[in-house]
Amino acid sequence: MGSELEKPKEGKYIYGIIRHSEPINYGPIGMGKRGDLVYGINYNGITAIVSNSPIIIYEARRVNMITHEKILEEIMKQFTVLPVRFSTISEHSDDAGVLRIIEKDYKKFDDMLTKMDGKKELGLKVLANEAAIFESIIEKYDEIRTLRAKLIHLPVDKTHYQRMKIGEMVAEAVKKETEKYKNAILDALNPLAVDSKINDNYGEMMILNAAFLIENSSETAFDKAVIELDEIYGRYMTFKYVGTLPPYNFVNLVINTKGV
């Protein structure tokens, strides 16, 4: 009896919002390990993709994030999707609570779906090849090259200050060069995108961490531009190009499930 009282209540986990009028289901692929059916709840041509779920806060662990992401990717094979924030759960065990959410936020969902229709998000991370960039700086910057050549055969303990100065000069040159590379990449790609977002870099050698919102019809041209950039700059950096992604960087959809 005690364990029954402690068992979480049941609700509906909401993955995303699509424009669709017919019944739809994606099979038993829901969050958690229960194999809950992922299916659609429709109101007036707008559908929320949901599954049954205990009303809990899912930890942002890799296994949970991947499940959430894979379900969105499955939806995106057929539809423009508004991704809902991870671990959004309606506190109603029946479909009625989700229907009320769609009805209440109908205009917002409708406007956002219209805005995102026919578009997709692509991700690009660019990582510097430290050795190659260092070599290019030695070739390009006369002062650094000359000072380095003077010190290379001198004792380390007697040239400490000069070596520190070279280190500072190289760090400044790397910053300058990587900023140039970043701007050149953005200048090539931004005209092909509807919108772009520059996210924070992580790690010292990341040059760019960006998301691009593009028209589906522009994907081939965008792919070609990334390939050409890789051909031009591939000696100095590695391009990690990912797509198609749920448009998290361009859709900020937070659903209030309280009191609905």
- Percent of the chain at pLDDT above 90? 62
Q: What is the mean pLDDT of the chain?
A: 88
C-alpha radius of gyration, the chain, whole number:
25
Encode pLDDT of 99-139 as tens digits.
999 999 999 999 999 999 999 999 999 998 888 888 887 77
Structural element, H or E, at residue 45: none
**pLDDT higher than threshold 60 for residue 42:** yes
Residue pair 168/137 in contact (Cβ under 8 Å)? The answer is no
pLDDT for 2 equals 47
**Both structure tokens of 145:** 């090259």
Backbone angles phi, psi at 129, to 5 degrees: -90, 100
If one compares 49 and 177, the residue with the highest pLDDT of the two is 49
Give DSSP secondary structure letters for 233-248.
HTTTEEEEEEEEE--T
If one compares 260 and 240, the residue with the highest pLDDT of the two is 240
Distances (CA, A) of 254 to 84, 109, 194: 7, 11, 23
- Give the dihedral sign, CA 202/207/213/216: negative
Encode pLDDT of 150-207 as tens digits.
667 666 666 666 667 766 777 777 788 888 889 999 999 999 999 999 999 887 789 9
Burial of 61 (0-12, 13-18, 19+ CB in 10 A): exposed
pLDDT, mean of residues 215-241:
94
Long-range CB contacts (within 8 A, 24+) of 56-64: 56/8, 56/89, 57/87, 58/31, 58/32, 58/86, 58/87, 60/86, 60/87, 64/31
Measured distance between the N- and C-terminal CA atoms of the chain, rounded to whole angstroms: 30
Domain ranges for the chain: 2-117, 120-245
**Both structure tokens of 246:** 């749920």
Residue pair 71/84 in contact (Cβ under 8 Å)? The answer is no
pLDDT for 176 equals 85
User: For the structural domain made of 120-245, what CATH number should be given?
Assistant: 3.30.70
